[in-house]
Structure 1
Amino acid sequence: MIPAMDLRLLHSSPCFSAVRFPSPTPLCRRLFIVRSSLPFPNEKAKYHKELEAAAEVVVRACRLCVDVQRSLFSDEGRIIEKNDQTPVTVADFGVQALVSLELSKLFPSIPLVAEEDSGFLRSNNLVDPVVSAISDKTSFDEESLSHADVLEAIDRGGKNYFGFGTKPATYWILDPIDGTRGFVKGSQALYVVGLSLVVEGEIMLGVMGCPNWVVDTSYKSTTDVQGYKNSSPGLGIIMVAHVGCGTWTKRLKDILDSSTKISSDWTRCLVDGCCLVPKARFCIPESQTWESLPLSILYEARTDDDDIGDKEIRLLPTCCGSLCKYLMVASGRASVFILRARSQTVIKAWDHAVGVICVHEAGGKVTDWKGSELDLAADQAERRIIYPAGGVLVTNGNIHNQILEMISSISTVV
């Protein structure tokens, strides 16, 4: 068993706060102390307690993902297919159970909207591996953490667990692993654990953890931007955002080598300063092609690093999941993420919510193709589905209106 994560990676500062969980058993002597400092004074962040807790649980979830990923390829039973043919692992359910357990303990009145439910877990006999995966990551007593507790925690975020009615509520939105197809490829692909808090229809805070993110920003090619080469498991980032306080990142501890010295200082995230569409760096979903997007009428896409021509744009090769693209834009590594809504594809709130606030607080902009903000309350009963007109456009803000105008003019001609 890998030792518990050193929670001191959340750099201490004058705005330090600590939450002490009771030790599960005298025998284990496991005292969970959540030491979380934010990169801004607590008085500036109305939901600083929620953000601190969210950051802490996402760090633990990233640790869980790395642990499971280690054993993933030595146990084929850990990779299975859901009914929608997307791969799901013990990590997906483990993260949802872990986050649900911890947040419900600290904020019992705040419900959770999340991707998984226990029905699939039960039918595939994966309860034992999930309990094992979270046992040393949770503040609950390992010996008293029953299967029923874990299954209920998973279902707490599942469909039909509770109803919202028509009025927006306060609730968490969780994507246990965004980019599961990347997760099952191993340490050379990106995936994100994403958690956000919505209050009265507005996203107040968000946390993204990306264990395989290449921290060095002195990249020279689109391959380096992608983060596939020269990456090391555990060398990643955690990104936090709070409304009115900006978007910030710090390095995740190198989980696989506790002797590695990694800076724990917070870094302010800002979108890039690109002001011309042809100079922008684009990313799109893996399931869509550039040719399927309106801008393909005006520009051809290039994925190499040669000089870009007048009628060309640079398309970055990125890995699975929408949140990876939001992270790219918020960190300034990409200028634009554009997604087309398709009738056969349901767009889920958890694939976008945390990314929206991280991009907004970094200076960017997120709308649908008509220029309207994403409506998280459109699914009045469950808050699980969004319906962006045309699709989703995520930019650095500078070129947002330019692209909207291009999309509108092309749609009018077509």
Structure 2
Amino acid sequence: MSVFAAERVVAINAVLRACKVCQNVFKQLVNSETITKKDASPVTIADYSAQAVVNTILYNSFPNDPIVGEEDSGDLRGDTGKVLREKILSLTNSVLDESLDEEKLLNAIDRGSYPGGSQGRMWTLDPIDGTKGFLRGEQFAVCLALIVGGNVQLGIMGCPNLPVDFNVPEGERGCLFIAEKGQGAFKRNFSSTEETKIHLADISSVSEASFCESVEAAHSSHGDAAQIASLLGITKPALRMDSQCKYCSVARGDADIYLRLPTRADYEENIWDHASGSILIQEAGGEISDMNGKPLDFSLGRTLKANKGIVAANPKIHPKVIEACNKHFNK
């Protein structure tokens, strides 16, 4: 029986509405000129709007639950933030049942200021994961997770541009992924409430596997991944996409291995970048760890401890991927 049935319903509602506001921002504010000029303002507006939407819905149902979020309202206050603030307010109210005023909007955004830690309940939110994918009209995700005592218990991810069927890339898009500790992993389309249980692909050998990796080489080292693939005898081309959609794609069997290989030794991961993805992989029958094979630690605050990178894969091949990674990095 689900321990977090009420939280599950509320979180699904929050993520779907946040996805809708992001889609509205894209339709209204992103165009060829925006991309040509590398104008990131639509991402900023979508980030703030999505965080305000999710935080408002969570607060209405669970007012005592703190939230670890990515944004704060500092740049939106005063005369300098007026134009941006008004756009965000209008977009936020377009998907909420009860309209916010400016002060309630700013307060909602600032509910994401909790520092995290190992005690009690908290939510962690990435309002738009995959900003460049968002601007390109490709993959991005709204990611929400419930953490209790430092352990992820519930993860919801909305992927507005992810094809419902991997084999029909031009078909229907919009997928919601849901995972609760001990309850399995599920997928549903944005157009339906019917949920389907998902699993990682069952492959017999690591050489049959395929990688899922970032589009941007600056986010995860393509060169290292290619050499690790060679060590494993993998010849299939990598599936490249932005955001935590990579976790979703591996969880439903589109690809088999997600490698997160930082391009800088001092790079620090944030808990909102991996919390919902990690439980989705686990509940879909996969294994996820750092490069030492240790579980990801979400109890240390806003920063995630992930030694030298992250590996998510089928348990049958996970140790071999770890071994190949260490062989490559220690040569």
User: So what's the TM-score if we normalise by structure 1?
Assistant: 0.72
1:107-155 deviation digits (Å, cap 9, x = unpaired): 0111001111112334554111111011132232x2xx21111111111
Indicate the SS of the match to 1:333.
coil
CA contact (8 A) 2:211 2:239 kept: no
Distance 1:96 1:277 in 2: 39
1:31-73 deviation digits (Å, cap 9, x = unpaired): xxxxxxxxxxxxx110110011000111111111111111123
> Any stretches of 5+ residues in structure 1 without a counterpart?
1-43, 254-262, 301-309
CA contact (8 A) 1:79 1:89 kept: no
CA contact (8 A) 2:250 2:256 kept: yes
Q: Share of identical aligned residues, percent?
A: 32
Equivalent in the alignment of 1:370: 292
Distance verdict in 2 for CA 1:388–1:126, change over 3 Å? same
The residue identity in structure 1 corresponding to 2:326 is: S
CA contact (8 A) 1:72 1:79 kept: no
User: How far has the Cα of 1:345 moved from its partner?
Assistant: 2.7
Equivalent in the alignment of 1:58: 15
User: How far has the Cα of 1:94 moved from its partner?
Assistant: 0.4
Distance 1:389 1:344 in 2: 11
Distance 1:390 1:354 in 2: 20
Distance 2:195 2:229 in 1: 40
1:99 and 2:31 equivalent?
Answer: no
1:190 and 2:139 equivalent?
Answer: yes
After TM superposition, the structure 1 = structure 2 runs for residues 323-338 of structure 1, keeping only pairs within 5 Å, are 323-338=244-259
Alignment size in residue pairs: 322
Higher share in helix:
2
* Corresponding residue to 2:177 among 239, 252, 255: 239
Distance 2:13 2:228 in 1: 45
Distance verdict in 2 for CA 1:266–1:80, change over 3 Å? same
User: So what's the TM-score if we normalise by structure 2?
Assistant: 0.90
RMSD: 2.4
The residue identity in structure 2 corresponding to 1:134 is: T
Equivalent in the alignment of 1:71: 28
Equivalent in the alignment of 2:207: 278
Distance 2:323 2:236 in 1: 20
1:47 and 2:4 equivalent?
Answer: yes
Equivalent in the alignment of 2:76: 121
User: How far has the Cα of 1:163 moved from its partner?
Assistant: 4.8
Distance verdict in 2 for CA 1:80–1:346, change over 3 Å? farther
Greater shift after overlay, 243-252 or 335-344?
Answer: 335-344
Equivalent in the alignment of 2:88: 130
After TM superposition, the structure 1 = structure 2 runs for residues 166-181 of structure 1, keeping only pairs within 5 Å, are 167-181=118-132
CA contact (8 A) 2:156 2:179 kept: yes
Indicate the SS of the match to 1:110.
coil
Equivalent in the alignment of 1:358: 280
User: How far has the Cα of 1:266 moved from its partner?
Assistant: 1.4
After TM superposition, the structure 1 = structure 2 runs for residues 9-24 of structure 1, keeping only pairs within 5 Å, are none
Distance 2:144 2:229 in 1: 36
1:345 and 2:267 equivalent?
Answer: yes
Equivalent in the alignment of 2:44: 89
CA contact (8 A) 1:329 1:396 kept: no
Moved over 4 A (4+): 74-82
Indicate the SS of the match to 2:162.
coil
> Any stretches of 5+ residues in structure 2 without a counterpart?
none
CA contact (8 A) 2:228 2:325 kept: no
Equivalent in the alignment of 1:256: none
CA contact (8 A) 1:282 1:313 kept: no
Greater shift after overlay, 189-198 or 278-287?
Answer: 278-287
User: How far has the Cα of 1:316 moved from its partner?
Assistant: 2.5
* Corresponding residue to 1:269 among 183, 198, 212: 198
Distance verdict in 2 for CA 1:360–1:114, change over 3 Å? same
1:212 and 2:173 equivalent?
Answer: no
After TM superposition, the structure 1 = structure 2 runs for residues 129-168 of structure 1, keeping only pairs within 5 Å, are 129-140=87-98, 142=99, 145-158=100-113, 162-163=114-115, 167-168=118-119
User: How far has the Cα of 1:320 moved from its partner?
Assistant: 1.5
Distance 2:115 2:308 in 1: 28
Distance 2:238 2:193 in 1: 28
Distance 1:245 1:101 in 2: 27
After TM superposition, the structure 1 = structure 2 runs for residues 380-395 of structure 1, keeping only pairs within 5 Å, are 383-395=301-313
User: How far has the Cα of 1:289 moved from its partner?
Assistant: 3.6
The residue identity in structure 1 corresponding to 2:17 is: R
Distance 2:260 2:119 in 1: 26
Indicate the SS of the match to 2:161.
coil
1:407 and 2:325 equivalent?
Answer: yes
Distance 2:257 2:118 in 1: 33
Indicate the SS of the match to 1:299.
helix
Distance 2:266 2:39 in 1: 23
Distance 2:115 2:278 in 1: 24
User: How far has the Cα of 1:343 moved from its partner?
Assistant: 2.5
Distance 2:320 2:45 in 1: 43
